[in-house]
Chains A and B, each alone.
Chain A
Amino acid sequence: MTISIRQERVIHHGLIYLIVTAGAIVMLFPLLWTVSTSLKTPDQLVYTRIELIPDPIAWENYIKVFEIAPVLRYFRNTMIIVLCAEFGSLVVCSLVAYAFARIPFPGRNLMFVLLLSSMMLPGVVTLIPFFIIFDRLGWINTFLPLIVPRFLAHNPFYIFLMRQFFRGVPQDLSDAARIDGCSEFGIWWRIVMPVSKPVLAAVAIFTFQWIWNDFLYPLVYLGGNKDLWTLALGLNSLKGMEGDVTTHYQMAFSVLMIIPMVIIFAFGQKYFIRGITFSGLKG
Chain B
Amino acid sequence: MTATSDLARTSESRVLTPRWRNRHRHWIGWLFILPWFIGFLCFDVLPFFLNLYLSFTDFSVGARLPNWVGLANYKEMAGGDHLIGISFKNTVYYMGFSVPLLIIFAFSLALLLNANIRGRGIYRTIYYLPSLVPVVAASIIWLFMLRTRGGLVNLALGLVGLGPVPWLSRPEWAKPALILMSLWGFGGQMVIYLAGLQGISQELYEAAEIDGASGRQKLIHITVPLMTPTIFFNLIMGIIGSFQVFTAAFIMTGGGPLNSTLFYMLHLYNNAFNYFKMGYASAMAVVLFFIILTLTLIVNWTSERWVYYDTG
Residues of A within 8 A of B (CB): 13, 16-17, 19-21, 23-24, 27-31, 33-34, 37, 45-50, 92-93, 95-96, 98-100, 103-108, 111, 114-115, 118, 121-133, 135, 149, 151-154, 156, 159, 178, 183-185, 188, 209, 212-213, 215-216, 220, 232, 235-236, 238-239, 242-243, 247, 250-251, 253-254, 257-258, 261-262, 265, 273, 276-277, 280-283
CB of B73 to closest CB in A, whole Å: 12
Q: In the bound complex, do residue A239 and residue B47 qualify as a contact, i.e. CB atoms below 8 Å apart? A: no
Q: In the bound complex, do residue B152 and residue A20 qualify as a contact, i.e. CB atoms below 8 Å apart? A: no
Chain A: CB-nearest residue to B115 = A16
3 pairs of A and B residues whose beta carbons are closest in the complex: A105-B29, A152-B39, A99-B32
Using a Cβ–Cβ cut-off of 8 Å, how many residues does chain B contribute to the interface with A? 91
Q: In the bound complex, do residue A124 and residue B136 qualify as a contact, i.e. CB atoms below 8 Å apart? A: no
Q: In the bound complex, do residue A115 and residue B47 qualify as a contact, i.e. CB atoms below 8 Å apart? A: no
Give Cα A126 to B269, complex, Å: 13
Contact of B192 among A50, A133, A277, A283 (CB under 8 A): A277
CB of B219 to closest CB in A, whole Å: 13
> Which residues of chain A are within 8 angstroms of B139 by Cβ–Cβ distance?
236
Give Cα A98 to B48, complex, Å: 27
Chain A: CB-nearest residue to B291 = A122
Interface residue B130 (Cβ < 8 Å from any Cβ of A): yes
Q: In the bound complex, do residue B43 and residue A20 qualify as a contact, i.e. CB atoms below 8 Å apart? A: no
Give Cα A209 to B156, complex, Å: 32
> Which residues of chain A are within 8 angstroms of B286 by Cβ–Cβ distance?
125
> Which residues of chain B are within 8 angstroms of A133 by Cβ–Cβ distance?
46-47, 50
Interface residue B38 (Cβ < 8 Å from any Cβ of A): yes
Q: A122-B240, A215-B135 are known contacts. Are A184 and B28 too (CB-CB below 8 A)?
A: yes
Interface centre among A13, A48, A105 (most CB of B within 10 A): A105
CB of A212 to closest CB in B, whole Å: 6
Q: In the bound complex, do residue B25 and residue A16 qualify as a contact, i.e. CB atoms below 8 Å apart? A: no
Residues of B within 8 A of A (CB): 21-22, 25-30, 32-33, 35-40, 42-44, 46-48, 50-51, 54, 59, 61, 109, 112-113, 115, 117, 123, 126-137, 139-145, 147-150, 152, 155-156, 159, 184-185, 187-189, 191-192, 195, 233-234, 237, 240-241, 244, 246-247, 250-251, 265, 268-269, 272-273, 278, 281-282, 285-286, 288-289, 292
Give Cα A244 to B202, complex, Å: 56
> Which residues of chain B are within 8 angstroms of A152 by Cβ–Cβ distance?
35-36, 38-39, 42-43
CB of A242 to closest CB in B, whole Å: 6
Q: In the bound complex, do residue A236 and residue B32 qualify as a contact, i.e. CB atoms below 8 Å apart? A: no
Known: A105-B25, A154-B40, A280-B189. 19 other contacts (CB 8 A): A13-B117, A20-B117, A28-B129, A33-B141, A46-B150, A48-B149, A96-B35, A100-B33, A103-B32, A105-B28, A125-B48, A128-B282, A131-B272, A213-B134, A215-B136, A216-B246, A216-B247, A216-B269, A242-B148
Chain A: CB-nearest residue to B155 = A50
> Which residues of chain A are within 8 angstroms of B234 by Cβ–Cβ distance?
280
Give Cα A216 to B29, complex, Å: 35
Q: In the bound complex, do residue A236 and residue B140 qualify as a contact, i.e. CB atoms below 8 Å apart? A: yes
Q: In the bound complex, do residue B39 and residue A153 qualify as a contact, i.e. CB atoms below 8 Å apart? A: yes
Give Cα A251 to B152, complex, Å: 14
Q: In the bound complex, do residue A108 and residue B29 qualify as a contact, i.e. CB atoms below 8 Å apart? A: yes
Chain A: CB-nearest residue to B185 = A282
A and B contact pairs by CB, cutoff 8 A, 21 listed = A31-B133, A46-B150, A48-B150, A99-B33, A104-B25, A105-B27, A108-B29, A111-B33, A121-B44, A125-B288, A129-B48, A130-B43, A133-B46, A153-B35, A154-B36, A154-B44, A183-B28, A253-B137, A261-B133, A280-B233, A283-B135
CB of B102 to closest CB in A, whole Å: 11
Contact of B112 among A20, A45, A104 (CB under 8 A): A20
Q: A29-B152, A103-B28, A114-B40 are known contacts. Are A122 and B132 too (CB-CB below 8 A)?
A: no
Q: In the bound complex, do residue A125 and residue B29 qualify as a contact, i.e. CB atoms below 8 Å apart? A: no
Give Cα A80 to B214, complex, Å: 57
